[in-house]
Structure 1
Amino acid sequence: MCILDLKLIQMQCPCNPKNTYSSCCQKAHESITNANTSEVLMRSRYSAFVLGDVNYLQKSQHSSTRPNKREKREIEAWAKSVTWIKLEILHSTKGTENDTEGSVEFKAYYTENGQMGVIHENSNFKRENGHWVYVDGEHTSI
């Protein structure tokens, strides 16, 4: 095991610092089918933004709303340009292992160019190809 792998195993999970990354979002990042609810997928997407894992963001987005190559590069550049602070889950509707759709309302806090920012979004999720994916969301940056 290399030092980088060991650091990932021991680090706090970006979505919830009470958990280690290896016991939380790493599981979904390694196999998207491990995100067994829409909230787990939402948390894993936040962690992917923090880690700059744009490939996971692509894989975890619905095929009808998936960003194109140019948008993917823009998302990656922005995600890596900000300092992520924390994720706050406000409310989840449906999205259980037995549902086919669900929604998660959250706030994601970050700093950009010395200014605090908050993404407040109600995200919509569906099952596609047997696993949860992000479809779209209504959001406002505060």
Structure 2
Amino acid sequence: MVLNENFLSDLEKLPPPKNQQQTFMEIAGYPHSENICSKILQFYLTPTNEHGFGRLLLDSLVMLIDRELVTDKQNIEVWREVRTSGNKRIDLVIVSDNYIIGIENKVLAKVNNPFCDYTTYLRSLSKSSKKSIKYYCR
């Protein structure tokens, strides 16, 4: 890419950014939707997507939970709106060779979820070698 000679000097003339309180979703006019947030999280937590971060974001999350779970060569799947046997939905489920993580997003809603149903479902997915983890986001 060829830059105009004045480009960098023009950038220096811009006022410094103010402390931005709005999120990019609010600026874009998107509603506060758990489903939209889940789609964005699913995209960035899936290592093979074109964002180019690979496993960085997923490994960062997993390290906060349990450092021993992070390994380089695991198969990873990130599912959204997963229906449980109790006919409820978990916002995100991350399945790897060694662990299963359930994530429930709460943007503006109250925490009123069937966590026992979620736990039963996550345990049903896990084999004896997998660790089942429940995670709640706000």
* Higher strand proportion (structure 1 or 2): 1
Whether TM-score is above 0.5 comes out as no
TM-score (norm 1): 0.31
Which has the larger Rg? 2
RCO greater where, 1 or 2, for CA within 8 Å and sep 6 or more?
Answer: 1
